[in-house]
Each structure stands twice: as C-alpha cells, then as structure tokens.
A and B are shown apart, each in its own frame.
Chain A
Amino acid sequence: MPELYPYAAARIHARELSLLSRQNLDQLLAAKTYDECLHSLRGLGWDEGDTAEEILAAETQKTWQLMGELLPQPEVFQLFRLPADFNNAKAAVKSVVTNVQVDRVFLPGGSIQPESMAKALKDNDFSAIPAWMAKPLQEAQQLLLQTRDGQLCDVLLDKAALDAMMQEGKKSECALLKEYAQLFVAVADLKIAQRAILTGRPASFLKEALAECDTLSLSRLEAAALEGMDGLESYLSLTDYADAIPALKAGASAFDKWRDDRIMALIQGEKANPFTLGPVAAYYLARQNEIAMVRIILSAKRNGLDVEDVQERLRVMYV
C-alpha cells in the first residue's frame, strides 16, 4: 500500500484554487501591450521580480519551496529533478572539456550541485557524485574528449536521463509518477524517431538514443523510423499513442502541445485523490504547465504575435 500524505494532499488541493485557469490566460492574452500583460500577471499574484524572466524564475522557485515544505523526503520527487540534473551535466562536461565558463546555463531544481559535477570532472574524482550520474558523466567526458562532438555527448546524456527517469518511475510507490515516467520516456522516444526521420539519421543513432520503456517496442520503433514517417505512423497506430499521429504530422510545436495535453489528461484524476503523493505531483506538473503558458504569452506579447496564433498553442489547464 502506498504511503499516505493527508497533510500534503489537503494543502495542495487548497492551493489548486490559485492555479491559473484558461480564463486567466485569455485575460493575459487580451492585454494590448507587453507591459499591460505584465501588469495583469502581477494582478494574479505573480509579482516577485521586475522582469518577465525574474517573475517566472520566482514562480519556479516558489513551487520547489512548496514541495520542500510538503515532502519530508525530497527524494520522492527525484523524477522531476532529473531533467535539470542532466541538463546541468551537459553544461558541466562541455564547460570542463572546452574550459569555458557556462554558469548561466545551469538550471535550478536539480538534486546535484552543478559546481560539484564540474569539480568531479576536473579532478576526475566522482566519489561525491551519485552512481546514477557518475557513470554517464565520466562516459560523456571521455566521448567529448575523443570526438569533440557536442551532439554525441548530448545524445549519451539524454539517453542516460531517460533511463534514470524510467528507473525512478518504476521505483516510485505513486501510480501517477509511474505513468508519468512511462509517458515522458515514450514521448521522448517518439520525438527522437521523428527527428531521425526528418534529418535522415542512421539506425546507429536510433540505437544510441532510444530509451527502453514498457509502452513501446524499441526494435519495432527503430524499424518503423527507418521506413520513414509512414512507417512510424503505421506502428504508432498499434500503440497507446495513436492519437499522436496528427500532431507528429503537424510538426514539433503541435507534438509538444499534444504531449502537454496528454500529461494534463493524465493528472486530472488526482483532483479527487485525497491521500497519496499523486495530487502533489499533479500540482507540480500543473505549475510547470502554467509557467510554460505564461512564458508563451509574454513572448508573444513582446514580439507582437497574433492572438489567434497564440491561442492555438495554449495547452489544456489543470483547473
């Protein structure tokens, strides 16, 4: 039986009332100028920071702070920290190998200090780095030193990130986290296959980049991708991801929207769950989604994009 979190679930359900709704997003979109949009955003309580980036960073920080207050063992959300950890690993490897300072590209929210990864790489001493990160970090460094190919290094670390996410998902007691890990890895595999088709990558790339997941057969996905987009579509029509076909055809932006809407559909049921970690994980994902939506709107306002174009890109909201 999974551990119960009645305090966290009740607190997070109360917090859900302050999440942005589609009406809030429409209100932001209706602003005539970027400054007016920023003013409306402040009116919704997003008021920490002077610039849009500062406001968005503060909201991300607030979410992690809340997670820290709610969860006595932060490792239960390790799954959500892995993307930041592996992004920082890429930056650290490139920084050490090329001897260029890249502090500004380190992301907050990881479980390992980026500086300690850089130090481990410089000293070739990985004793302070967890085993799941030490091995890919060493391999990526060696690969970059040997080939000087940043993309190969990224592929290696991306695959390691997906493998680590799958492991965390399987380890978790929370059904939502298990399903999320499966969906995340499957979607990443589909994007890799799509990119390989569009750029004409060979089978060896697919073998190195695709990560194992329970909802897709890697050998069949690989074979389908080598046949081209038609092959990928016909394989996908036999899987749980058949509804991704129109989005895959429409392009990267439509596929990202399909992925985010699918995640929102996955977490909707947690609104009625008063006991487990699920509602907390759902709230975290809902916050990520709304921060991404506000970023899209602010960017559109800054660049004077058409409201209707932006509306098409807006995702389903949690509330």
Chain B
Amino acid sequence: MTFTDLLNTLGVPMALLGAVLAALMAGIGSAIGVGMAGEAAAGALTEDPSKFGKVLILQLLPGTQGIYGLLIAFLTLSNIGILGGSADISFAKGMLYFFACVPMGFVGLWSAKRQARASVASINLISRKPDQFGKSIILPAMVETYAVLALLVSLLAVANIGKLPL
C-alpha cells in the first residue's frame, strides 16, 4: 500500500469528524442557550403564566443552531456514503468536507450562546413591558442572521464538494 493509498483511507474519518463537529458544537450551543432562556422563561411565567406563548418563542430561538448543525451533519454523512452507497472518498475530499462543516460548528456554538443572552434580556423586557413583544423578538433574531450565514456557507460547500474532480 502506497502512502497516498494510506492517506486516502483517512478521507472518510476526516469528513465524519467534520460532520460530528457541526452537530456536536452547534448542539452544545443550543442546549446551553435553550436551557438559559428556559430558566428566564420559567421566572417570567411564575409571575404571569399568560405570557407562555411569547416566552416560548424567545426560548426556542437559540435552539435553531442545533437543527442547522444536524442538517449539515446529515448532508455530509449522506454525501460521503455513510448513510448508504460507497463510503470511499479521497483524503483531499475528506479534508474539504471537514472544513466545510467548521463554520456551522463554531458559529453555531457561539451564536447560540450569544442569542440566548439576547433572548433572556428580551424575556426580561416583556416581563416588565408586555406590549413590547414585537421589538423583543427582533433583538435576539438579529443574532440568527450569522447562524444562517454559516449554515449557507457549510450547506453550499458540502453540497458541491462531491462534484469536484478530486
């Protein structure tokens, strides 16, 4: 077995590592975020249970990054043949898949945590001023922009790496 053959056996593990990172880091960020926003939501609901619908939306906002991470991981697993077909890709392609997953992993983790802080602040805002729900939801939603941008980059890359002649 040549060195190149040996290296190419690492193609699938590298791609798999990328998929795992995307799901793992974005998932951890969302779990932390939804948990923190949930604590604040419980505090607001203890005083006024009628705000359930409003605070639920704010609590769920940091949960989207976990879903984006799962989507990228699922697409990567599908493209490298782990979910069916031939799991045989070169080291170069494996590395490309790995790097394609990185934006979603890192941005997912960080944006979920920061979005949670914005959601907690917004839950506090509607606790004091219930009529400001519209504004309160826009503030944490702005953080979502950057999670969506990372999702787009990862998605476009993962979807098109298979077409490259490597």
* Chain A positions near chain B (C-beta within 8 angstroms): 4, 6-17, 271, 274-275
Contact = CB atoms under 8 A, between A and B. Distances in A.
A11 B43 contact: yes
A10 B116 CA distance: 14
Given A4-B36, A6-B39, A274-B40, A13 B120 contact: no
Contacts, number: 54
A11 B36 CA distance: 14
B47 A274 contact: no
A34 to B, nearest CB: 32
Nearest to B129: A17
A11 B46 contact: yes
Nearest to A271: B128
B52 to A, nearest CB: 13
Interface of B: 36-37, 39-44, 46-48, 117, 120-121, 123-124, 127-128
A273 to B, nearest CB: 8
A122 to B, nearest CB: 44
Contacts of B40: 6-7, 9-10, 274
Contact of A9 (B37, B43, B46, B48): B43
A10 B36 contact: no
A312 B37 CA distance: 43
Contacts of A7: 39-40, 42-43
Contacts of B36: 4, 6
Nearest to A12: B43
The 6 closest A-B pairs by CB, nearest first: A10-B43, A11-B43, A14-B47, A274-B124, A14-B127, A6-B40
B26 to A, nearest CB: 21
A10 B117 contact: no
B39 A274 contact: no
Given A10-B41, A10-B43, A275 B117 contact: yes
Most chain B Cβ neighbours within 10 Å, of A6, A8, A15, A275: A6
Given A8-B43, A16-B128, 12 more contacts: A6-B40, A7-B43, A9-B124, A10-B40, A10-B123, A10-B124, A10-B127, A11-B47, A13-B124, A14-B46, A17-B128, A274-B40
Contacts of A14: 43-44, 46-48, 127-128
